[in-house]
Amino acid sequence: MKLNPRKAMALALLGAAWLVPPTGAAWAQTPAPATFSPPDEAAMPAGPFGDAVKLGENIFRNTPKYAPQFTGNTLSCDNCHMNGGRLANSSPMWAAYVAYPAYRSKNKKVNTFGQRLQGCFRFSENGKAPPLDSKVMVALESYSFWLSTNAPTGAKMAGRGYPKLAKPAEAPSYQRGQVVYAQNCSLCHGANGAGAAAHGAVVFPGVWGKDSYNWGAGMSAINNAADFIHANMPLGLAGTLSAQQAWDVAAYIDSQDRPQDPRFTGSVAATRAKFHNNAFSLYGTTVNGHVLGAAAQ
């Protein structure tokens, strides 16, 4: 995996001793490798189109800095769509771009690629949807279009999204997840879930709390979180958690307080009934005597 210098440094600081797989980890099956490769960075075109592509990459890799008016937390697109949206099985942009327009049950309409991007701004970035003709949107679309150079339109590309994990043998458990988190995640993401920053730059993104994704985000559903975590975390040791551990730790982080769902109707129960009425969202349920969403930040 190619890390940017900031992350490589952070990993080096953590020390090699840590890079030992968790004991008892089942080495899960790795999904079929993607056959598509996006163009090299060096092949980025010059001229006005190249400028838009470069701006799009900058926004993607550091969203709070390059699109502050649309970002409500400290997350960047790159935190969940890793390696600048290039990494297969980390919901890469080259596989997404060629898959739209498409119907989404989340908003019950056919979405263009731009409308799909707006969704991640509103929920994952806890921000505001950039207008479809804004400079930010044009740049992100240019970058994604360029990454998908020579990809077939409408094809189902291997490596799209996060590989779907099988249902867990046992119901996801907060208690077991808490142990998985303490042993495999808190070193980087913090015991309080807030992540870590150095010199004003995010080194490890938060996984809950006010600077995290909100209750409307895809990652707040434990199936999406388990899929992402199993394929991509712990950073540098992806694939070392068992499927059960990934489900358990997903249930643990998605049982913590985070920003309110922007579709909030005024009541947690009504918001759950309208938007979260499924087994994967813990919003509005009671965990450890605490109604999730009631103390949303």
* Site residues for ligand HEC per CB under 6 A: 7, 11, 14, 63, 75, 77-82, 91, 95-96, 99, 116-117, 120-121, 124-125, 140, 160-161, 184-185, 187-189, 204-207, 212-213, 217-219, 224-225, 229, 233-236, 241, 249, 253
Going 45 to 3 to 191 to 248, the CA torsion angle's sign is: positive
Coil/strand/helix, residue 102: strand
The helix-helix angle for 135-147 and 113-122 (nearest 10°) equals: 120
Residue 32 Cβ vs ligand HEC, minimum distance, rounded to whole Å:
16
- Of the candidates 148, 272, 160, the residue with the CA atom closest to the CA atom of residue 215: 272
Q: Can you tell me the distance from the alpha carbon of 114 to that of 186, in angstroms, rounded to the nearest whole number?
A: 35
Q: How far is CA 29 from CA 8, 194, 234, in A?
A: 26, 30, 16
Residue 47 Cβ vs ligand HEC, minimum distance, rounded to whole Å:
23
Q: Which is nearer to ligand HEC, 95 or 268 (CB)?
A: 95
Q: Which is nearer to ligand HEC, 78 or 268 (CB)?
A: 78
- E runs forming strands in the chain: 102-104, 109-111, 196-198, 201-204, 286-287, 290-291
Q: Which is nearer to ligand HEC, 219 or 292 (CB)?
A: 219
Residue 91 Cβ vs ligand HEC, minimum distance, rounded to whole Å:
5
Q: How far is CA 137 from CA 34, 79, 111, 144, 171, in A?
A: 27, 19, 15, 11, 40
- Of the candidates 240, 182, 257, the residue with the CA atom closest to the CA atom of residue 21: 240
Residue of minimal CB distance from ligand HEC? 218
Residue 290 Cβ vs ligand HEC, minimum distance, rounded to whole Å:
20
Residue 18 Cβ vs ligand HEC, minimum distance, rounded to whole Å:
8
CA angle 247, 263, 125 (to 5 degrees): 60
Phi first, then psi: what are they for 278, rounded to 5°?
-155, 165
Residue 45 Cβ vs ligand HEC, minimum distance, rounded to whole Å:
20
59: tokens are 């926004």
Q: Which is nearer to ligand HEC, 99 or 268 (CB)?
A: 99
Q: Which is nearer to ligand HEC, 217 or 282 (CB)?
A: 217
Q: Which is nearer to ligand HEC, 7 or 263 (CB)?
A: 7
Q: Which is nearer to ligand HEC, 105 or 289 (CB)?
A: 105
Q: Which is nearer to ligand HEC, 68 or 267 (CB)?
A: 68
Q: Can you tell me the distance from the alpha carbon of 51 to that of 72, in angstroms, rounded to the nearest whole number?
A: 25
Q: Can you tell me the distance from the alpha carbon of 158 to that of 99, in angstroms, rounded to the nearest whole number?
A: 12
Query: Please, are residues 147 and 94 in contact by the beta-carbon 8 Å criterion?
Result: yes
Residue 124 Cβ vs ligand HEC, minimum distance, rounded to whole Å:
3
Residue 75 Cβ vs ligand HEC, minimum distance, rounded to whole Å:
4
